[in-house]
Amino acid sequence: MAKKPIEIDCEEVWRQISNYLDDEVDPGLHATMASHFKDCAHCSAILDGARNVVKLVGDGRAFEIPARASQTFYKKLNDHLADRQRKRR
């Protein structure tokens, strides 16, 4: 009997996406995440965005992001995650 991969939620995918891109997750988690990306358009878009960032930074023409933009990004991300947590309760 074939085993169905264990489900993974979007928040865990976001936590592991860098490790996934660096191929630093175990084969089971890699397969679970790959399956999740096939079914979740939002996480798939985040994966594509993360790959683009890695490509931009890795090509030697990286640019410095202004501190204010970085702070705004992290605030929005943290607010989004906190909102998701509140909705789960």
12's tokens = 């865990």
pLDDT digits 0-9 by tens, 29-77: 999 999 999 999 999 999 999 998 888 777 666 566 677 877 888 888 8
Domain residue spans of the chain: 10-88
pLDDT value at residue 46 = 94
Question: What pLDDT, on a 0 to 100 scale, did the predictor assign at position 61?
Answer: 62
pTM of the model: 0.60
- DSSP 3-state of 44: helix
Q: What percent of the chain has pLDDT over 90?
A: 47
**How far apart are the C-alpha atoms of 75 and 69, rounded to whole Å?**
10
